[in-house]
Structure 1
């Protein structure tokens, strides 16, 4: 798992845009060229990859999973999460 510190994004109302890569070799969060990339090992079916992204992102941001809401990109690789 990556050690990316995203605690500066934990304020209520913050939108976090990410690019997701499912079926990766390991779970990780990296910032590449100003884009936040989330790599998850799960497959993109029945919301499994979205759940894995929420779990990984909540740990990196330092908020409970219940405070992250997927507002755009339910079936897309580009997603936007809102911190509640």
Structure 2
């Protein structure tokens, strides 16, 4: 298992992310220390980047947006998301 995601006993998966808002396109950009880096096309204004992040992660994992929640880092580049109903193998493949 990697440092950037953790699987809880009840199936919840916690993701540690490093976000780069205002990028040309939204994409995964590999590992950044102990976090997965994600470039977001959305600007870091009025929560637009947080909304875009949740939508991007949910769509990538084939989940409803309600299955992905922001646990910490509302105004920081370093964010922690909690994901319900995802497969740990699928999550691990995001960094590839």
Q: TM-score w.r.t. structure 1 length? A: 0.78
Unpaired runs of at least 5, structure 1: 1-8
Misfit runs of 4+, over 4 Å: none
Match of 2:25 in 1: 26
Aligned residues: 75
Unpaired runs of at least 5, structure 2: 1-6, 85-96
Match of 1:4 in 2: none
2: CA distance, partners of 1:29 / 1:59: 13
CA RMSD, 1 decimal? 1.9
Q: Which protein shows a greater Rg?
A: 2
Matched, 1:38 2:35: no
Q: Secondary structure at the match of 2:60?
A: helix
1: CA distance, partners of 2:29 / 2:62: 16
Q: TM-score w.r.t. structure 2 length? A: 0.69
